[in-house]
Amino acid sequence: MENKQQQKNPGEVSLKDLIVKSTELFSELIRQKLYIILAGVIFMLFFGIRAFLDKAEYSANLTFMIDEDSGNPLGSLSGVLGTFGITQRGKNSLAKLIHLSRSRNITEKALFAKTEIHGQKKLLANHLINYLDTLDQWNSKPWYNFYSSRDKSLDSFRFKHSDQNNLDKTALKAMKNLHGVIAGNPQQDQPGMLNGTYDEETRILELTVTTRDPELSIALTNQIFDELNGFYIAKMTEKQSVTYRIVKEKTDSIKHQIQMKESQLARRDDASLGLYSQTTRLGSDRLRKDITLLTMALGESTKNLEIADFALRNTMPYVQTIDRPVQPLPAVKKSLLKNLVLGFLVGIALSALIVLMRKLYKDATSQ
């Protein structure tokens, strides 16, 4: 019987080798502990100073809720279904509202509203540009975007009017930048000033704008909500509004025709001086007959107008504001203690990684 001796493959690493290498690396960390701790202290000071010098931020929160049954023709049906445990939560409608609040249509309308901040009443867009200018964040490009040049036409740009349909190329570019600042860029994971949330259980929605200027935070939050509210109601009642407008125009037209016929009849009576010929009497009878028919049509049209008005009011959703932001807003700053601990841990981790990589490189080149 042959004795086969197993030979070690040069490419294999045994458990003993791993233990030895781990011990060597740990010993290297112990030998370099002063440098590692020093690096941790340096990073701790850096993070701490940055947190200490960082300015406070102010978040303006606005909460509201929507009575879906008031604007829903199936509202009574939903109530009946609820007694059997069948509920229609309308989650999609809440998510759509939050998405709408970040839309360019809503933010543009909000920014073109004149608002008084710090005693100055001007377009909210210009207030926001001035705020970004003080932070050196207006018309600035990220450090990593070195391959593109900065557009100097926006440096001193301010909006001169609020006509959304009459914006030149520079104004459109400025508005696009402001919209990005407010709504952010979800595709690049860049948060904006505006944040919207909703609770599925309570059906309460919340809009929050965070800036370093409390008055600007409040103004942006209120204006965005007002524009969102108006847009939502207009879209929910759009079909009923068109129907009401058509019926009202028809009713007004019938009233106008009745007034014209009555005026013609009165002029005929005045011209006859009480002496009626057959021709005059025939014309007057026709006018009276037309007035009678138009009066009947007016009654029917008035009834249709009342029905259209009821349908419009019944379809109109009820948006109820719960809490609007008011001064003073609580100031939120970065936690000094948290940043000190975080800085120390980051410094320790980075320096330890450098020490280990340096040790592995030395061992690899010495073999």
In-domain check, residue 209: yes
Looking at the fold, whether 90 and 216 belong to one and the same domain comes out as yes
- Cβ neighbours of residue 325 closer than 8 Å, sequence gap 6 or more: 60, 61, 62, 217, 218, 221, 222
Task: Give pLDDT tens digits for 34-83.
Answer: 999 999 999 999 999 988 888 889 999 999 988 755 545 444 434 433 44
Q: Looking at the chain, how many residues does it have?
A: 367
Nearest to 131 by CA among 107, 103, 111, 105: 111
In-domain check, residue 347: yes
Q: What is the pLDDT of residue 77?
A: 37
Among 210, 236, 262, the domain-final residue is: 236
In-domain check, residue 144: yes
> CA 48 from chain center: how many Å?
33
Looking at the fold, whether 69 and 167 belong to one and the same domain comes out as yes
Mean pLDDT by 10 residues, the chain (367 residues): 48 68 82 90 91 87 78 43 42 80 92 92 94 86 60 82 85 91 77 89 90 94 93 81 84 87 76 56 76 85 83 75 91 87 93 88 77
* SS3 category, 240: helix
Nearest to 314 by CA among 237, 208, 230: 237
E strand or H helix that includes residue 205 = strand 204-211
* Amino acid present at 94: L
Rounded alpha-carbon distances, angstroms, from residue 104 to 140, 187, 279, 317: 21, 16, 68, 23
In-domain check, residue 87: yes
Looking at the fold, whether 102 and 144 belong to one and the same domain comes out as yes
Looking at the fold, whether 140 and 271 belong to one and the same domain comes out as no
Looking at the fold, whether 138 and 36 belong to one and the same domain comes out as no
In-domain check, residue 310: yes
In-domain check, residue 75: yes
Longest dimension (CA), the chain: 150
List the CATH number of the domain containing 277.
1.20.58
Cβ atoms < 10 Å from Cβ of 268:
15
In the chain, the number of structural domains is 3
Among 236, 265, 281, the domain-final residue is: 236
Q: What is the pTM of this model?
A: 0.67
CA distance 330 to 314: 40
Looking at the fold, whether 149 and 282 belong to one and the same domain comes out as no
Q: What is the pLDDT of residue 88?
A: 45
Say if CB 216 and CB 189 are below 8 A apart: no
Task: Give pLDDT tens digits for 202-250.
Answer: 888 999 999 999 999 999 999 999 999 888 888 877 787 788 788 888 8
Domain that holds residue 154: 58-236
Looking at the fold, whether 230 and 165 belong to one and the same domain comes out as yes
Tokens of 350: 């980075």
Looking at the fold, whether 222 and 101 belong to one and the same domain comes out as yes
- Report how far apart the first and last C-alpha atoms of the chain are (Å, whole number): 40
Partners of 61 in the beta sheet? 208
Looking at the fold, whether 43 and 89 belong to one and the same domain comes out as no
Looking at the fold, whether 65 and 102 belong to one and the same domain comes out as yes
CA distance 65 to 262: 52
Looking at the fold, whether 197 and 96 belong to one and the same domain comes out as yes
In-domain check, residue 70: yes
